[in-house]
Amino acid sequence: MISLGPATVVGGFVWALLQPYRVTLFEPQGQSFWWLAVEPPLLVVLVGVVFHLAVARGLVRDLLEAERRRGSDR
Amino acid sequence: MRPPAEHVHWLFAAGVLFIGLCLLARAIVGVEVWDRRATRAYLWPGLLFTMGLLMWPVMVLFTNSAIHMLAHGLWAQTLMLAGAAHLGLARGKLTSPYWRLTLPLGLIVSGAAFLVHEQNGWLWSRSAFVHHAAGWTLIVGALFPLVGTFRPRLRTLDVGFAITVVALAVIVFSSRDVATIFGHLSSEAGIPRR
């Protein structure tokens, strides 16, 4: 479960490597605002990072705590 | 300053991907652990509701035909209904498990709307392909929450639904205004972009 976020980030980087023209930051000259603000591979990376920091880490803590509790109840 | 249509699709795809990851994590750890914190319990229904809300400006600003507008309006309504019902369930204000049926209802209506408002065949253009693929993914994917309403302990159904949502995000990320699909593009579609 903890690898979901990093795996998503890797997916975004692989996409950026396969289709570098989707990352307009590599060649920003002449690009309009939206082409610079919304770059799909970077969105995927961002989703992975936000999910990992905001959801996955806390969830792992709660999962370990639940397992510890279950172990002490036995 | 209005974003091009494909950028709006990508922003929604990012939201769908985030919801998919949340659902996948929820399916892996189980509902008991996931719901241990209120913020997490409200997270994915809240996002669903917000995406329904954001669909209204999309309907107003980006649709160019009556059927297109109706389809986006239906998505907005069914997404908000499913999000609100699941928020009510998470809060405990709604107790009947049948409120969960709002999710398959939303998926089936959204899938049908995708298919109905796409007038062209699968290989007409990338956009047409995306509409057909997303429509059928939603309709087939609706089976998971539909069966899950009556068999809530079957975790496989939760995993299947989460994977469906991630697949939908991938499909929407592949959306382009005018582009080829498997080397095909109708001459009437316009000048292709990468």
Q: Which residues of chain A have pLDDT under 50?
A: none
C-alpha separations of B168 from A5, B10, B15, B138, B172 in Å: 18, 12, 11, 8, 6
Query: Do the Cβ atoms of B13 and B173 come closer than 8 Å?
Result: yes
Write the residue in B3, B11, B21 that is nearest to A8 by C-beta: B21
Q: Which two tokens stand for residue B14?
A: 């990012």
Q: What is the arithmetic mean of pLDDT over B112-141?
A: 89
pLDDT at B130 over 70: yes
Query: Do the Cβ atoms of A45 and A22 come closer than 8 Å?
Result: no
Query: Domain residues for A49?
Result: 4-73
Cβ distance A5 to B21 less than 8 Å, yes or no, reads: yes
Helix, strand, or coil (residue B179): coil
Write the residue in A43, A44, A63 that is nearest to B29 by C-beta: A63
pLDDT at B175 over 70: yes
Q: What is the band of B194 on the pLDDT scale with cuts at 50, 70, 90? A: low
pLDDT for B189 equals: 65
Cβ distance B25 to A59 less than 8 Å, yes or no, reads: yes
In sequence order, the β-bridge partners of residue B184 are B181
Residues of A in contact with B42 (CB under 8 A): none
**pTM confidence score:** 0.91
pLDDT for B65 equals: 84
Cβ distance B21 to A38 less than 8 Å, yes or no, reads: no
pLDDT at B99 over 90: yes
Mean pLDDT score across all residues of chain B: 90
Q: How many domains does chain A have?
A: 1
pLDDT for B185 equals: 74
Q: What is the pLDDT of residues B3-53, one digit of tens each?
A: 888 889 999 999 999 999 999 999 999 999 999 999 999 999 999 999 999
Residues of A in contact with B1 (CB under 8 A): 33
Question: Which residue, among B36, B43, B126, B175, would best test binding to A if mutated, counting the most A CBs under 10 Å from its CB?
Answer: B36
In angstroms, the separation between the Cα of residue A23 and the nearest Cα of chain B is: 12
Question: Which residue, among B19, B21, B166, would best test binding to A if mutated, counting the most A CBs under 10 Å from its CB?
Answer: B21
